[in-house]
Amino acid sequence: MVSFFGLGLRRGSTVAAFCQGLALGALVHGIPVANRAYAGGWWDWLTPFSLLTGLSIVVGYALLGSTWLIYKTDGALQARAFRLAWIAGAATVAAMGAVSVWTPFLKGSYVARWLGWPQILYTEPVPLMVGATAFTLYRGLKDRRELSPFLASLGLFVLAYVGIGISFYPYIVPGSITIWEAASPDNSLAFLLVGASVLIPIILAYTAYSYWVFRGKVNAVAGGYH
């Protein structure tokens, strides 16, 4: 029963991550909209690019998981996580490079935002920071550090989404709907701001408390944290 549950969990998590990547790839590729309604076909979301982004998300999540295990475990499990992190890290960096090279060919506007003048002055630091973060990940794994690989993995994801934001701006649906067109009326936004100003501090405090409660490493022998 345990092995069946584990197999289902692994496959379900992989499919969920892959579908997230498919959705992201379809969004980057562009969603045709006419009269504020979807104007594409049934299978527009399934493209070679979306398949690549689907695989990229899967290996990226594998990197996050393995580096988290490095930070939270020790012994044989940590050693296995180090081995998996090397594979997932190399695959994630390669996938980011492939997506970055492919993306400008999807839309001419992407090329203008990344390579146009003077936009390049603002976008050039992003790939440089990706390279520095990837090197930090490499050194952390090589030196058998426990925290820096996880932080570097988080950094790669943050920079990846920063790159997506640069490509999209000012659109929320590339080529179709801008941020301002998709925004709610000012009264609704003001109401949401009041609610967010109350709820966000509570969520942050609860999250910080959860991390404090589950601080330290998992001890499989003792059956808890130490």
Joined together, the tokens standing for residue 73 give 């475990």
pLDDT at 124: 86
pLDDT at 171: 82
CB-based contact 66:85 (threshold 8 Å): yes
Could you count the other beta carbons within 10 Å of the beta carbon of residue 6? 10
pLDDT in single tens digits along all 226 residues of the chain: 457 777 888 889 999 999 999 999 988 887 777 776 777 788 888 899 999 999 999 999 999 999 999 999 988 999 999 999 999 999 999 999 999 889 888 887 788 888 778 878 888 899 999 999 999 999 999 999 999 999 999 999 999 999 888 888 888 877 778 888 888 888 998 999 999 999 999 999 999 999 898 888 876 565 555 5
pLDDT at 223: 55
The full set of domain ranges for the chain reads: 2-183, 191-226
Angle, helix 148-168 to helix 108-115, in steps of 10 degrees: 120
Give the predicted TM-score (pTM) of the model.
0.85
The CA distances from residue 198 to 186, 188, 189, 207, in Å, are 19, 16, 14, 15
pLDDT at 224: 56
How far is 149 from 117, CA to CA, in rounded Å?
A: 35
CB-based contact 154:64 (threshold 8 Å): yes
How far is 193 from 188, CA to CA, in rounded Å?
A: 9
- CB within 8 A of 209, min separation 6: which ones? none
- CB within 8 A of 183, min separation 6: which ones? 189
pLDDT at 117: 80
User: CA dihedral defined by 48, 49, 52, 53, rounded to 10 degrees?
Assistant: -140
Tell me the backbone φ, ψ of residue 173, rounded to 5 degrees: -120, 105
